């Protein structure tokens, strides 16, 4: 491995952990290679340190420059401080702040950080300009033999830690340094073991390059899995991957979010999106391959997650696991329709419910429902149609999931005598349905919003049409509901955005 044993000056031999929950669900033994446990929370310090440790006295004196979306930058920063080599690290402005802060912390006085461009490729172009100015050594994040050799130590550890039957190792891919190193090492020692690369569907430069036989340049890359958002695979990494990699798998954002949750449930560690790529690919592979003999290993490559992304991950993980279905359902705009709709759901839990009274004879609902999988989703679709409800399945509709779910509503001329209330109730399975069952049929619901956020209490916003002469009776009714509530009818935002003048 090109003298790569020196990586252990800074890296640890990370654990290869059993994943019993995933094993039970997938039906095959699943193991997680925990590179998120490194001091920089990523495997990248292996290749960066191995490359910088090779520099001669003159090169060390001139310093190094590199480009990175974040994890390689942390590896270079740590190596710079450990070896006493000044480094300029160029990062795209889209790099998560947690990674930028970590680079500065690990590197200290030996590192200058430059933020420019929207992707790794933009940062790389700027780094090349800086290199030309002062002759620094460019420490490539993936397309370098020493870097690849450093990353190959991950593969060597997997084989040492699991000498028993091993079917496949799944590796996240951006530029290909980790995949090239792991595949080359494993095929040289145990060629029967499959090595499978996994990429985000919107950043699949390596997969396209292997398919076409030449280096494809993507016009744009998705930035959710920022650690693998590379527009072009490396020349050396492509050559090695074409020779040693058995297959490439593409996964979408929802599948990555589901894998992040799986890793958390197994380890109580929060992987970053790129860190969960391999597991997302493993699950996809296992779902279509019944002839698996031996364990499946996914490399959890990093845990440098921006905290503010967790909300999005939680929102999409249920859909990625086929445990939440999202529908637009059309029901008659008449009393009793809500209850009939809820009865159609049977015992399934509602995760989201959005409604605003409209101008037609029909009501349009945006609803999220917990399901047991795709088959259960199809059963529910059939149940809606059997009731005569119009229904659109929006589970795979990006526009609906990203934007439209938050835009249901607006002012309505038909919401006369509307009063607005917030209710709270203990968040339990079936709690929303019990709330609806208690709503009195004599008053029409004109607005409804609910979203299960995993909190201990559910929160509902309800618009109810109550004529002035029935206010006293309605107040008595509220007292019988048994739920804490607050009258928001005079709320300034409500009167501006939702209440018709």
Active site residues: 44, 301
Rounded Cα gap, residues 112 and 134, in angstroms: 15
- Strands 418-426 and 16-18, bridge-based pairing: unpaired
Cβ atoms within 10 A of the Cβ of 77, count? 27
d(C-alpha 34, C-alpha 154), whole Å: 10
Q: Identify the sign of the CA torsion 95, 96, 101, 106.
A: negative
Residues 6+ apart with CB under 8 A from 190: 159, 166
| Cα-trace Rg, the chain | 27
The token pair at 396 is 């795979």
Tokens of 146: 């020493």
φ and ψ at residue 362, rounded to 5 degrees: -120, 150
Rounded (10°) angle between helices 44-52 and 145-161: 130
- DSSP-derived letter for residue 136 is P
Q: Give the residue from 215, 247, 251 showing the smallest Cα distance to 232.
A: 215
Query: What is the C-alpha to C-alpha distance for residues 196 and 244, in angstroms, rounded to an integer?
Result: 10
Distance set, CA 340 to CA 393, 436, 442 (Å) = 19, 11, 16
Instruction: Please give the structure tokens belonging to residue 127.
Output: 């780094």
Q: Are 323 and 370 in contact (CB under 8 A)?
A: yes
Q: Are 150 and 48 in contact (CB under 8 A)?
A: yes
Residue pair 193/162 in contact (Cβ under 8 Å)? The answer is no
Q: Which residues, including other chains, have CB under 8 Å from residue 390's CB and lie 6 or more apart?
A: 329, 330, 362
For 145-188, strand residue ranges (E) read 166-172
Quote the CA–CA distance of 254 and 335 in Å, as a whole number: 37
Residue 295, classified by CB atoms within 10 Å of its CB into exposed (0-12), middle (13-18) or buried (19+), is buried
* Under 8 Å between Cβ of 32 and 169: no
β-pair type (194-200, 166-172) = parallel
CA–CA distances in Å: residue 367 to residues 129, 296, 311, 370: 52, 36, 19, 10
Residue in this structure with the two tokens 């759901």, named with its chain if needed: 345
């Amino acid at each position: 491995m090109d003298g790569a044993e020196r990586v252990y000056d800074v890296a640890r031999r990370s654990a290869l952990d059993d994943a019993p929950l995933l094993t039970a669900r997938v039906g095959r033994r699943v193991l997680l290679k925990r590179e998120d446990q490194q001091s920089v929370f990523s495997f990248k310090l292996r290749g960066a340190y191995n490359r910088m440790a090779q520099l001669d006295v003159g090169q060390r004196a001139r310093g190094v420059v590199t480009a990175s979306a974040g994890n390689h930058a942390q590896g270079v920063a740590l190596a710079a401080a450990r070896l006493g080599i000044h480094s300029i690290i160029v990062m795209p402005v889209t790099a998560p702040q947690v990674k930028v802060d970590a680079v500065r912390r690990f590197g200290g006085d030996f590192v200058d950080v430059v933020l420019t461009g929207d992707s790794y490729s933009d940062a790389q172009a700027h780094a090349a300009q800086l290199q030309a100015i002062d002759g620094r050594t460019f420490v490539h994040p993936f397309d370098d033999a020493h870097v690849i050799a450093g990353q190959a130590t991950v593969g060597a550890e997997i084989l040492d830690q699991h000498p028993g039957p091993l079917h496949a190792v799944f590796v996240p891919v951006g530029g290909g340094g980790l995949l090239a190193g792991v595949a080359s090492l494993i095929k040289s020692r145990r060629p029967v073991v499959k090595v499978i690369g996994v990429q985000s569907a919107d950043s699949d430069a390596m997969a396209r390059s292997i398919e076409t036989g030449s280096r494809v340049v993507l016009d744009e890359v998705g930035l959710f899995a920022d650690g693998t958002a590379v527009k072009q695979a490396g020349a050396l990494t492509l050559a090695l991957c074409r020779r040693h990699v058995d297959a490439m798998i593409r996964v979408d954002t929802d599948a990555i979010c589901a894998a992040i949750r799986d890793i958390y449930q197994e380890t109580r560690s929060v992987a970053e999106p790129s860190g969960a790529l391999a597991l997302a690919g493993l699950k996809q592979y296992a779902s279509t391959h019944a002839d698996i003999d031996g364990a499946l290993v996914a490399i959890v490559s990093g845990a440098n997650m921006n905290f503010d992304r967790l909300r999005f991950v939680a929102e999409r993980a249920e859909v990625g696991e086929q445990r939440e279905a999202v529908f637009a359902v059309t029901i008659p705009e008449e009393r009793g329709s809500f209850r009939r709709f809820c009865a159609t759901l049977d015992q399934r839990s509602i995760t989201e419910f959005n409604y605003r009274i409209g101008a037609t004879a029909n009501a349009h609902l945006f609803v999220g429902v917990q399901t047991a999988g795709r088959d259960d989703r199809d059963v529910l679709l059939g149940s809606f149609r059997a009731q005569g409800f119009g229904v659109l399945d929006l589970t795979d509709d990006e526009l609906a999931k990203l934007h439209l779910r938050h835009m249901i509503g607006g002012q309505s001329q038909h919401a006369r005598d509307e009063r607005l209330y917030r209710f709270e109730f203990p968040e339990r399975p079936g709690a929303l349905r019990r709330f609806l069952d208690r709503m009195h049929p004599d008053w029409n619901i004109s607005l409804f919003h609910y979203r299960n956020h995993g909190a201990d209490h559910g929160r509902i916003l309800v618009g109810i049409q109550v004529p002035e002469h029935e206010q006293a009776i309605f107040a008595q009714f509220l007292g019988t509901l048994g739920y804490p509530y607050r009258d928001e009818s005079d709320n300034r935002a409500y009167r501006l955005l939702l209440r018709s003048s």
